[in-house]
Amino acid sequence: MSIRLTTCLILASFAAAAGAQQPVLTGQDAFTDYSKEHPGVRRHLTVADLPAPNEQSSVDNGPHVVSRPDGAWPQAPAGFKVTVYADGFSEPRLIRTAPNGDLFLADSRGGQVVVLRGAGADGKAAQRQVFATGLDHPFGIAFYPAANPQWVYVANTTSLVRFPYKSGDMIATGASQTVVPELPGYAQLRGGGHWTRDVQFSLDGKKMWISVGSGSNVDDIDTHPREFHRADVLEYTPEGKFVKVWASGIRNCVGEAVNPTTGQLWCSTNERDGLGDNLVPDYITSVPEDSFFGWPWWYMGQHQDPRLPGTHPELKAKVRTPDVLLNPHFASLEMTFYPANLACAGICPWQRFSGDAFAAEHGSWNRSKRSGYEVIRLPMKNGHATGEYEDFLTGFVTADGQVWGRPVGVTIGNDGSMFVTDDGTKTVWHVTYTGTSQTARNSAR
């Protein structure tokens, strides 16, 4: 079967799954936990739905990840099959597709970038090779220039480096070059310090965006010097010259993506904790130049954080409301746009997923009932979000609330199928379309 025909079938299947929509959950009904997260369920939260802050109700309910129980498996919409593509990593995090179709994966704790290629008879990666090692908590990966990459950029926690590259390389052919020698902060894995750094280029290749999360939950930037150039998206030239703070007050833009329709930068964002089960929503949003999202003084438009009363009232009117509000504490990580250039015009009956966004949700710790631990879809119309999001890949939490998997990264292969990293099982999952029933899909594992 040709790649073109396979791609058409995948697009048609994605659209068919989207076509059988369930009613959209809105208002207070949209605040749900893992027990109500199933493929096809849609939600639409707005700022009007937010409760009052309640610091006293905040909880520490972090997951203790267990081994995958017998019978537990990621659940996708009807007609999709989920298989193990690769496993045995130290900490598989962000994953990106190179122009030639290779998958580049940041094994953050292992300090390396791994390349995965093809599929064997068992469905697993046919080739697996360490591209580069000796890195410091690598996360972001980008190819530059986009059309014919000469470099692979890798964002460490404290620096940005690049490796010489030509299409098909599975091992770096030269030593790394330091592009940005110092990025703010260092790896702080619990207590509000964010260590992931992502990197993206504008469509014209002239801008390079690096996201840097906050070093705290709600420290006032005026009195905490370590927050300098944190909770920001920073703009550089591709050669590493600092240009400006592109966007600020965005507490932790973990995953960056460029909207192929509009050319805008987007961020998958972790908001602050400690204000109650249903505050503050994580979000996914477009990030215009010079935009301000409120952290730490404001949130979701003109809502002031009660822990910083009376501070910076002049900023209230400048706070941008995000495009898509997610359930609070989802821990939204990598995001990607389904490529428009994979659409097979004139052949596929549906093309609804073309241009839509997908995001990996690592799961809550600051909520009494767990939520997240899934991959979601964000419908787009002409490059703009509808405000809704839909459960796409779920099942990483057992019926009694035990967490066995935590999605981190998501990318689309050149054949239109989906790859998802999971640092709970140290696995890369592969989501393909077969047209078979759920029962057949489970028996084919």
Confidence category of residue 198, pLDDT binned at 50, 70, 90? very high
336-351 tens-digit pLDDT: 999 887 654 443 433 5
Counting the structural domains of the chain, the total is 1
pTM of the model: 0.93
Q: What percent of the chain has pLDDT over 90?
A: 84
Q: Is the pLDDT confidence value at 7 over 70?
A: no
Res 21: pLDDT: 61
pLDDT, average across residues 76-105: 96
Q: Is the pLDDT confidence value at 188 over 70?
A: no
CATH number at residue 209: 2.120.10.30
Res 399: pLDDT: 96
Res 411: pLDDT: 97
Q: Is the pLDDT confidence value at 185 over 90?
A: no
Res 340: pLDDT: 82
Q: Is the pLDDT confidence value at 424 over 50?
A: yes
Domain carrying residue 253: 3-443
Res 430: pLDDT: 97
Residue 271 to residues 116, 183, 300, 432: CA-CA distances in angstroms? 32, 21, 10, 32
95-128 tens-digit pLDDT: 999 999 999 999 999 999 999 999 999 999 999 9
Q: What percent of the chain has pLDDT over 70?
A: 89
Q: Is the pLDDT confidence value at 297 over 80?
A: yes
pLDDT, average across residues 196-209: 98
Res 79: pLDDT: 85
Confidence category of residue 5, pLDDT binned at 50, 70, 90? very low
The chain-wide mean pLDDT, for the chain, equals 91
Res 19: pLDDT: 46
Confidence category of residue 244, pLDDT binned at 50, 70, 90? very high
